[in-house]
Amino acid sequence: MSNPRRLYLKVTLKLLLLLGLGLAAIPFITSLHHSDNDGQSAANPWYVEVDVSRLVPGQWQSVPWPGGEVWIYARTQREIQALQTADTDRLRDPDSRHSQQPVAASNAYRSLQPDYFVFLPRETRRGCQIQQIELQMGINGYSEACYGARFDNAGRIFKDSGQPEQHNLTVPPHEFIGVDRLRLLPVGP
């Protein structure tokens, strides 16, 4: 004759074991689910989509990304025109040959679209935080306090500032997936 208490404990333990296995399987099952239309996993933290429709010219937005915080700055028409006629003799690397940016962003704007500048807000030597400054009336740029480096509106470092080892600000890999949406992409080949 079996003990009713022992039978109750056996059944309860088996139910708890089954419940635990079911809960442990949830992450595995959800990792198999793809929600993006192009096959990229929604669980991949490197693919970050950003709606830039609310940014007005002269404003920036900070976006968390596994490669570091990313700033997206909406340029004013005056800043875009200033980049078209910039005095590149004042810049250390005006053609961005020694800096990191997507190939498509190797232009005077250092961006895929002149209206938006997407960059990591840290200088390239020690990773000091960048702050936005006004370079001249209506034209913004950037500076950092560690070495006193100053950058134009395309993140290009001025010759007379900072340390020789510093480069232009880093532009992370990204793409525009619509008029008002951009996607930050994984770093790598």
Question: Could you give the strand order of the β-sheet that contains 70-74, starting from the edge strand earlier in sequence?
Answer: 60-63, 70-74, 116-119
Please, is 60 exposed, middle or buried when counting C-beta atoms within 10 Å of its C-beta (0-12, 13-18, 19+)? middle
Residue-wise pLDDT for 6-18, tens only, equals 888 888 888 888 8
**Which residues in the chain show pLDDT less than 50?**
34-41
pTM over 0.85: no
102: left (phi over 0), alpha (psi -120 to 50) or beta: beta
Q: Please give the pLDDT value at position 37.
A: 43
Phi, psi of 128 (to 5 degrees): -65, 145
**What is the distance between the alpha carbons of residues 102 and 185, in angstroms, rounded to a whole number?**
11
Can you give the C-alpha Rg of the chain in angstroms? 25
Q: Looking at domain 48-184, what is its CATH homologous superfamily?
A: Rieske [2Fe-2S] iron-sulphur domain (2.102.10.10)
Phi, psi of 129 (to 5 degrees): -65, 140
Residue 42, pLDDT score: 53
Could you give the CA distance from residue 162 to residue 147 in angstroms, rounded to a whole number? 5
Would you list the DSSP string of 118-169? EE-SB-TTT-PBEEEEEEETTEEEEEETTT--EE-TTSPBBTTSS-TT--SP
pLDDT of residue 34: 43
**Confidence at residue 3, expressed as pLDDT on a 0 to 100 scale:** 84
Residue 145 token pair: 């306090």
Q: What is the pLDDT, as a whole number, of residue 189?
A: 54
pLDDT of residue 1: 54
Please answer whether residues 115 and 178 qualify as being in contact, where contact means their C-beta atoms are separated by less than 8 angstroms: no
